[in-house]
């Protein structure tokens, strides 16, 4: 397994880093304060090809691999975590399931739109079913004119902007193994409304919405994969999403390190820069080591995905370690800044708020440990499987 970046990937990283520094970072604090992302930025992201990173060129995308997607999300997240998760949710949670499970007609209809600027999202979580996705109650009933959807969904990242929604709903309530199905839903649609936009601690420039479906009719041809296979679609989608959130966490942590190093060079106490003190050096060293470990775990999971190998465990490991590392890095950064780090005049206050969510969405740290433990137990019983 070769985890070295190709020349094209290195050039991509440089290009995205320049774009992020020039077009994304300057407005990050304002977007956080205003809790909104201007349409002009979304348009620029689409023009750069970031909404179609892994969409094949035949559908208008850039046709890159999962490793390249990680590079884009990490570099954008370093400049603005909210913008980073906007891209991750679009690509991992909407584009990927259509690529993996969509019919030729579904791909032809939706992938060019998603690559061109239409925003995508996943609608899975409900008020009574978070980590237990299989306990969903939002229902889709098949009738002559389509699937009639009734129920509610919460915590939908990109929910306000999305024009294409991957919806997981109950279609077989009496079959515990095949009770859920997946659908492609367009927004706006009659019977679908946004009931609430969450006011969040961090990643404030991206929307997090509550959907209410009131007899919303979804065309029969918009069933994604087979009836009763919705949980498979959801779990597979979340595996890819966890790699994306690992990339977001790496980007946030890298920003924490960069800000800490710069501040430690210029802030003086007791007659010399604080970076000369071992206590500060230790924090910077810890951040540097842990970021590198997280980056390698992220790339390994993406490499396994690109090469058609099982990556569920690798994605969980990358997401778990990167997210918890990200929170540690943000806390270190605030500590390096001291009292100034607690004020929003400096970016580390925002980075600390943004970091926490990486331990929660796409499966909490507790869920990641359950996934990893299951694979470790299997490896001990059946022999090492490499994932």
- 212-269 confidence digits (pLDDT tens): 999 999 999 999 999 999 999 999 999 999 999 999 999 999 999 999 999 999 999 9
- Do 14 and 112 share a domain, yes or no? yes
Q: Is residue 383 part of a domain?
A: no
> CA-CA distances (angstroms) from residue 52 to 7, 41, 98, 127, 305?
21, 15, 12, 31, 17
Q: Which helix (H) or strand (E) holds 378?
A: helix 365-382
pTM of the model: 0.95
pLDDT exceeds cutoff 70 at 2: no
Residue-wise pLDDT for 54-69, tens only, equals: 999 999 999 999 999 9
- Do 170 and 246 share a domain, yes or no? no
- Do 112 and 32 share a domain, yes or no? yes
- Rounded CA separation 127/211 (Å): 11
Q: What is the CATH number of the domain that holds 102?
A: 1.10.540.10
- Do 21 and 71 share a domain, yes or no? yes
Residue at a domain's end among 73, 93, 119: 119
Give 134-176 as a DSSP string: GG---EEEEETTEEEEEEEEEEEETTTTEEEEEEEEES-TT-T
Residue-wise pLDDT for 285-304, tens only, equals: 999 999 999 999 999 999 99
Percentage with pLDDT > 90 across the chain: 94
Domain hosting 165: range is 122-228
Q: Distance from CA of residue 295 to its chain's centroid?
A: 15
Tally of structural domains, the chain? 3
- Do 127 and 189 share a domain, yes or no? yes
- Do 237 and 365 share a domain, yes or no? yes
- Do 276 and 211 share a domain, yes or no? no
- Do 244 and 213 share a domain, yes or no? no
Residue 362 is a catalytic residue: yes
- Do 89 and 57 share a domain, yes or no? yes
Q: Distance from CA of residue 194 to its chain's centroid?
A: 21
- Rounded CA separation 350/343 (Å): 9
Q: What is the CATH number of the domain that holds 136?
A: 2.40.110.10
Name 269's bridge partners: 272
Q: Is residue 136 part of a domain?
A: yes
Of the residues 142, 349, 362, 366, only one is catalytic, namely 362
- Do 262 and 280 share a domain, yes or no? yes
Residue-wise pLDDT for 120-161, tens only, equals: 999 999 999 988 888 999 999 999 999 999 999 999 999 999
Residue whose token pair is 């000369």: 276
> CA-CA distances (angstroms) from residue 333 to 90, 258, 340, 342?
29, 9, 11, 10
What's the mean per-residue pLDDT of the chain? 96
Residue-wise pLDDT for 177-188, tens only, equals: 899 999 999 999
């Amino acid at each position: 397994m070769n985890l070295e970046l190709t020349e094209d990937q290195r050039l991509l990283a440089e290009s995205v880093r320049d774009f992020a520094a020039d077009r994304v970072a300057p407005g990050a604090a304002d977007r956080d304060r205003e809790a909104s992302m201007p349409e002009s930025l979304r348009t620029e992201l689409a023009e750069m090809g970031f909404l179609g990173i892994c969409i094949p060129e035949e559908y208008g995308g850039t046709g890159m691999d999962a490793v390249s997607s990680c590079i884009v999300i990490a570099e954008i997240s370093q400049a603005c975590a909210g913008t980073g998760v906007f891209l991750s949710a679009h690509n991992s949670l909407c584009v990927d399931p259509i690529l993996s499970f969509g019919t030729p007609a579904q791909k032809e209809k939706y992938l060019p739109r998603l690559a061109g600027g239409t925003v995508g999202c996943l609608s899975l979580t409900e008020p009574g079913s978070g980590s237990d996705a299989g306990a969903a109650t939002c229902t889709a009933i098949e009738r002559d004119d389509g699937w009639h959807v009734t129920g509610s969904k919460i915590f939908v990242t990109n929910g306000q902007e999305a024009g294409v929604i991957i919806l997981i709903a109950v279609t077989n309530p009496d079959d515990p193994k095949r009770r859920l199905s997946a659908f492609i839903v367009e927004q706006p649609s009659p019977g679908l409304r946004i009931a609430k936009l969450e006011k969040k601690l961090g990643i404030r420039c991206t929307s997090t919405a509550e959907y209410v479906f009131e007899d919303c009719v979804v065309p029969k041809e918009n069933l994604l994969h087979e009836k009763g296979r919705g949980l498979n679609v959801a779990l597979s989608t979340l595996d890819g999403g966890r790699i994306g959130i690992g990339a977001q966490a790496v980007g946030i942590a890298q920003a924490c390190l960069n800000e800490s190093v710069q501040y430690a060079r210029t802030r003086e106490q007791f007659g010399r820069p604080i970076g000369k003190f071992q206590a500060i050096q230790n924090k910077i060293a810890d951040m540097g080591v842990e970021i590198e470990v997280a980056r390698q775990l992220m790339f390994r999971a993406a490499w396994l995905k690109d090469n058609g190998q099982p990556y569920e465990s690798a994605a969980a490991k990358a997401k778990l370690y990167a997210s918890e590392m990200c929170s540690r890095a943000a806390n270190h950064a605030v500590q390096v800044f001291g009292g100034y780090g607690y004020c929003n005049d400096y970016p580390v206050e925002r980075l600390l708020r943004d970091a926490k969510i990486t331990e929660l969405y796409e499966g909490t740290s507790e869920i990641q440990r359950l996934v990893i433990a299951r694979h470790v137990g299997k490896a001990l019983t059946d022999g090492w499987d490499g994932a």
